[in-house]
Amino acid sequence: MLGKIDPVISELIKGETRREKETVNLIASENYVSRAVLDAVGSLLTNKYAEGYPGKRYYDGCNIIDRIELIARQRLIKLFNADHANVQPHAGSQANMAVYLSVLKPQDTILGMDLAAGGHLTHGAKINFSGMVFNSVYYGVNRETEQLDYDEILRIAEETKPRMIVCGASSYPRIIDFKKFSEIAKKVGAYLCADIAHIAGLIAAGLHPSPVEHAEFVTGTTHKTLRGPRGGFILCQSRFASQVDRAIFPGIQGGPLVHVIAGKAVAFKEAMTRSFVSYQKKIISNSRYMACELAKRNYRIVTGGTDNHLILIDLRNKKITGIAAQQILGEAGITVNRNAIPFDPLPPNIASGIRVGTAAITTRGMGKKEIDRIINFIDEALSYQNNPSQLRLLRKRIKAFASQFPIHAR
């Protein structure tokens, strides 16, 4: 039907399907959903407008929608052992905005991880709403260890007296000690918001400490390690439930994406299975193995290793920038993203490093044997940076390799 109505868009979707099948995806914030999640997100639920919350909608005909949203909420609460859940945020950014607006006023101080050290735009970057609306101050990582220095974070907190501390990261490969963050927040009288967008799946599987018992607010996304549809969520202590819900609707969003909420519900159910825990264990195993093998090839691994799904690689000793590596690997059929390293001498649009992750390749069934081949491909591609004909030949080999693996969770 789509091909008849709009052949241009139909062909573009087919093209994207081929691209995903024929390339190796090492972007740490991406994954592949199951066919069940695709069925839910692509369903006629997209037809229904459902402003409000279950039992309190602004449109009629929401009795079935109410049940779907309640199921999604209940599953998320059970998955993380939380008091309250909101599954309506369209993305992690909206989830963070809603949390801030639920208890903060404009120009209140928030203390978040510096974007240059591995934080996220919504943790106070000046070019983001979080830095525009609030007074943002930052913590980073230790120059020697490249890891969080909790004593230094406490010093900054005592000096700046933030109303809220935000912990969590978009390119930090080590365990985050949420308990220590909670202790720091309590000492300075701040709320704590833990952004677990990247590590939600690992936490759900019990493979990374949970912030739920330590933080007033927890935000996250459903499309990274949690392996659901693109979207966000909020968990909070029961005493903040009404404030958080009001901040989402009518605060910053109108009608929720009901078809996506249904997809979230399916993903939450999948995350409660033994196979999901096994999958998360494989993510970490693959990540650690890849970091170790890359180090053997003289790639400098930031922090010296990884505890989660991602690896940050400093390419300076390889005499290539992050953006150049991203472009060359992309031409060969390996997708990565350029990424600043701690104390990076280059601007972020160029960057000295790349960030890679193993969630997506693990979903496709790849393990150590395949990772060995991928590292060989990376080495070979970077050696061809001035040889486009060799890159084209390599892309054919990578296409044949990648095409053997399915692009959906099983």
> Which are the catalytic amino acids?
49, 51, 195, 221, 224, 230
Q: Which amino acid is at 91?
A: A
User: 351 and 321 in contact (C-beta within 8 Å)?
Assistant: yes
Angle at which helices 368-383 and 388-402 pack, to 10 degrees?
A: 170
Q: What are phi and psi of 297, to 5 degrees?
A: -90, 15
Q: Which amino acid is at 50?
A: A
User: How far from 253 is each of 90, 104, 179, CA to CA, in Å?
Assistant: 8, 18, 32
User: 163 and 102 in contact (C-beta within 8 Å)?
Assistant: no
| DSSP sequence for 322-370 | HHHHHHHHHHHTEE-EEEPPTT-SS-TTT-SEEEEESHHHHHTT--HHH
Would you call 321 helix, strand, or coil by DSSP?
coil
- Show the tokens assigned to 33: 């959903």
DSSP type of residue 67: H
The contacts of residue 92 (CB under 8 Å, 6+ apart) are: 120, 122, 195, 197, 219, 220, 221, 232
Distance CA 68, CA 95 (A): 20
User: 48 and 62 in contact (C-beta within 8 Å)?
Assistant: yes
Tell me how many degrees the CA angle 107-119-294 measures, rounded to the nearest 5: 175
User: How far from 263 is each of 67, 202, 226, 259, 322, CA to CA, in Å?
Assistant: 14, 19, 12, 6, 34
